[in-house]
Structure 1
Amino acid sequence: MHITSFFLAIGLASALDNGLARTPQLGWDTWNSFGCSLNATVILETAQKITSLGFKDLGYNYVVMDDCWSAGRNSSGYLVPNSQKFPNGIKDLADKIHNMGLKIGIYSSAGTMTCARYAGSLGYEEKDASLWASWGIDYLKYDNCYNQGEEGTPKLSYDRYDAMGKALNSTGRPILYSLCNWGVDGPWNFAPTIGNSWRMSGDLFNTWDRQDVNCPCAELEGLNCKTPGYHCSVLNVLGKAVYIPSKAYAGAWNDLDMLQVGNGGLTDDEAIAHFSLWAALKSPLLMTNVMTKIDAPTLSILQNTAVLAVSQDPEGSSAVRVWRYNVDGGDIQMFSGSLSGGDQVVLLLNGGSTAREMNATLTEIFWMDGVSGTASQVQSSWDVYDLWADRMSNSTADAIIQGDGKRPINMTAMGGAEKVYAQTPLPTTKALMGSKVGSVKAAGTVKAFVQPHGVAMLRLREVKSNDEL
């Protein structure tokens, strides 16, 4: 290691020494489905469903209350929860969440007001952090509204967000710090030193690919966007995220925004592609659907353990876009990323309006490893697993929802989600690997038939024996 790299690594390790988000966080957030209608009942009922439906068992452990929870500040300058929404206070709610084996998150903004115009935390960082710690808060989503113009350079944004990061650390309580400044001032360049994740774009809406005046920036332009906006489509956010995958690492993640799976607006194929891409690019996965009204297709997407195993892979390496071509009806793209144990994840994304066979050569799949790194990989043979081939059936999902069905995999019985996902390499089980759909000989080509606005998500594992494929 070069000396400069050594000191950089030491500095980052020190700055992020809260031990949290070693893999991207999993959980649920109130905002997309409830907005300002959140209350203790909504949160507790959701937490109960996260537990009873098996989401907690799969690693979804954060329950985050978003904006509109407070009633302002008292005469001493401390935040007070809305007594109608939270009649027993936040600490009582946190205790109940913790008793379910889950963790609780809260929201504020690095401004004088939150985005819904409740009291913000700018200038009150130490008071707010100490209060949240006393309540037992485990997670902070920290927004960017009404920031008094303290943005426009990375240093201005860094200082404002660093103030809260230092305040959280000073409490002595491990609190996951999720920065939500919408990509303003390039947070991927400074946020890794102070937070566990950072929003890199405007707010994600439940649309696949749509030009919207409320989300004016796209692609490279979006990396320096002064008005990142909202109503951003899945492909709009993806088009910005592809340029910064190297900024993410264990404990610090690019946040492509909360999941829209189960909220309407996306077709089933689009929802699968959205979930797959967010997992492969190592974005935090925060569900936002109404959990008490979840349907079978939504549950079967969010509980795909083979995809979650990619998200939670201990190597923590984000997939990268290797190529993109415009075809009739839209773009086709290929993503590839390394996994622990020498495995590789490959995504073939069909943004077009017609189904098509897509393919990628081993040279393309291992392109990011460079010529010397790919020589042995390209000349090796690989088993290919389809991570969606064993998607839970609607009948199985319905049985789980009704409370009379068994889940396909019991993480708790196997030692817990964290232990299972961390196995290197993962055991060859359908629940964690999908189904083997073929093999690729040396210098060969991976092929898949992909639906419109859909994705083929594949896992490659090197064939170690000398047996014929």
Structure 2
Amino acid sequence: MRAVSASTLLARLVTLTGVVALDNGLAVTPQLGWNTWNSFACSLNETVILNAAQRIVDLGFKDLGYEYIVLDDCWSAGRNSSGYLIANATKFPSGIDGLASKIHALGLKVGIYSSAGTLTCARYSGSLGYEEKDAELWASWEIDYLKYDNCYNQGEEGTPKLSYDRYNAMGQALNKTGRPILYSMCNWGSDGPWNFASTIANSWRTSGDLLNTWDRDDANCPCAELDGLDCKTPGFRCSVLNVLNKAVYYVSKAFPGAWNDLDMLQVGNGGLSDQESIAHFSLWAAFKSPLLMTNVMTKIDAQTLSILQNPAVLAISQDPMGSSVSRIWRHPVADVDANGYGEIQLFSGNLMGGDQVVVLLNGGTQAREMNATLEDIFWESGVAGTASQVQQAWDVYDVWANRMDNETANAIINGTAVPAGSRFNATARGGAPRVYSQPPVVGDRWLMGSKVASVQPRGTVTARVAAHGVALLRLRAQSSKKNEL
């Protein structure tokens, strides 16, 4: 009998049972959606949220899999005499239940926010000690998603057991309602949630809040290099590379239904260049982090839309195998920015059907040619080139080769006719929803990308990588003739 890897076996179990982690059957692939916080903070209201939800439908994001509309902090107005949370009636004249009905009518799902403390981070009423009441209320409002923060926790952290008990109380309360509610823990990586959260939640944050900077050193976000600083402090205002270089150590802890969360996307919020935004989105997808957009949907520009709507990247994020990339190597480079950073990295991971995803990251300030041998790419399948994959020839596909052009993106944004012959995936607006449950066929340039090279056995993959950018590649063995047009 041929051996079956643990990740493959788990993927089959998910397919058969649909139940993992919290036993709610949700987040079998990393959740996709939109959150209010980074763009609106406490200025959220019913109009802001419904406008964003409508744009997510009209622009084709829903058809690509973005489904959760998540209200973050500042939505409540305290508790009533019975101890139940009440919504701010000025911000939400239809109530949260009325808003949920409108979002559901669009074919989307709705999320809510609270904190495992006496107060939320913006000092509204928290849920510590009210877990069952709050879960019961949210279920009655037909909420589909809970983001659960870590502020004002009464000192109930400092050991994994303390954090586990506090967050498990809400997980049990959500399950008790009988309504499937995706449970997103946001405890900033405190007490090592990757070691316990998979039994009680669908995702957990691995570090402090992500700022829209590439690699700026910020004293409020320690341990970019894990160099002996107080790495127990999660901090905030963390850069893309800081969050990434922490998450690399926990990739094996995630699996379908239970994901490492590198924090919400900053694509489209300013601060990141186009190449940095592409790299940020690519890395979060390859690491199987939830992809929660936070840009202002009513003001989205062409470059942002073309990044967030790349279905070939989303196919990697939503690959049913649920296997994150791992870091294979990391090297410093001579060209560094003002903060003294400059590095290149290689990441590699498995995809369903035998494909391989490869990420070449150039953290330097100059574009460069980067190389990765098949021995490196398949290192985890057999060190020193002993893996069977090293003995095969592979075709290399550039996942970003068919990025939507600005003319097409602007036509979609403005609701005008898409130019004839444009690089546009027609199913991204008004057509059949994208399906990521099967390996893309060769020739499907939207999900597969475009073939850019072939690599012979024991050969080398080469790519030109922009400064602060990535090459995101999908490899398929030439010996596999299935799934071809």
TM bracket, shorter-chain basis:
over 0.9
User: Residue 433 of structure 1 is aligned with which of 442, 448, 473?
Assistant: 448
Change (3 A) 1:43 1:376: same
Give the unaligned 5+ runs of structure 1. none
Percent of paired sites with the same residue: 73
2:410 equivalent to 1:410: no
On the 8 A contact 1:386/1:435 being kept in 2, the answer is yes
On the 8 A contact 1:73/1:80 being kept in 2, the answer is yes
2:476 equivalent to 1:461: yes
On the 8 A contact 1:178/1:197 being kept in 2, the answer is yes
- Structure 2 letter corresponding to 1:203: D
2:466 equivalent to 1:451: yes
Equivalent-residue separation in structure 1 for 2:115 and 2:383 (angstroms)? 46
How far residue 217 of structure 1 moved from its aligned partner, in angstroms, is: 2.7
Equivalent-residue separation in structure 1 for 2:190 and 2:445 (angstroms)? 41
Give the unaligned 5+ runs of structure 2. 337-341, 419-423
Equivalent-residue separation in structure 1 for 2:36 and 2:160 (angstroms)? 30
Change (3 A) 1:395 1:76: same
How far residue 154 of structure 1 moved from its aligned partner, in angstroms, is: 0.1
How far residue 414 of structure 1 moved from its aligned partner, in angstroms, is: 7.7
Equivalent-residue separation in structure 1 for 2:439 and 2:202 (angstroms)? 24
Question: Per-residue CA shift, 1:318-367, capped at 9, x if unaligned?
Answer: 00110000011200000000000100000100000111000100000000
Equivalent-residue separation in structure 2 for 1:222 and 1:115 (angstroms)? 28
How far residue 412 of structure 1 moved from its aligned partner, in angstroms, is: 8.6
Equivalent-residue separation in structure 2 for 1:220 and 1:28 (angstroms)? 31
After superposition, residues 34-49 of structure 1 pair within 5 angstroms as 34-49=40-55
Equivalent-residue separation in structure 2 for 1:13 and 1:264 (angstroms)? 39
2:83 equivalent to 1:71: no
Map of 1:393 onto structure 2 = 405
How far residue 16 of structure 1 moved from its aligned partner, in angstroms, is: 2.5
On the 8 A contact 1:107/1:141 being kept in 2, the answer is yes
On the 8 A contact 1:104/1:139 being kept in 2, the answer is yes
Question: Per-residue CA shift, 1:398-439, capped at 9, x if unaligned?
Answer: 00001124551416988533xx20113545311001111010
2:257 equivalent to 1:257: no
Equivalent-residue separation in structure 1 for 2:480 and 2:441 (angstroms)? 18
After superposition, residues 93-172 of structure 1 pair within 5 angstroms as 93-172=99-178
On the 8 A contact 1:355/1:450 being kept in 2, the answer is yes
Determine helix, strand or coil for the equivalent of 1:383: strand
User: Residue 355 of structure 1 is aligned with which of 348, 364, 367?
Assistant: 367
Change (3 A) 1:212 1:49: same
Determine helix, strand or coil for the equivalent of 2:427: coil
On the 8 A contact 1:222/1:240 being kept in 2, the answer is no
Map of 2:326 onto structure 1 = 320
On the 8 A contact 1:186/1:224 being kept in 2, the answer is no
On the 8 A contact 2:20/2:257 being kept in 1, the answer is no
Map of 2:30 onto structure 1 = 24
Question: TM-score scaled by structure 1?
Answer: 0.94
Question: Per-residue CA shift, 1:65-110, capped at 9, x if unaligned?
Answer: 0000000000100000001000110000000000000000000000
Equivalent-residue separation in structure 1 for 2:33 and 2:307 (angstroms)? 14
Equivalent-residue separation in structure 2 for 1:465 and 1:161 (angstroms)? 45
Determine helix, strand or coil for the equivalent of 2:387: helix
Map of 1:295 onto structure 2 = 301
On the 8 A contact 1:387/1:434 being kept in 2, the answer is yes
Map of 1:182 onto structure 2 = 188
On the 8 A contact 1:358/1:447 being kept in 2, the answer is yes
Equivalent-residue separation in structure 1 for 2:162 and 2:388 (angstroms)? 47
Map of 1:269 onto structure 2 = 275
- Comparing 193-202 and 428-437, the one that deviates more: 428-437
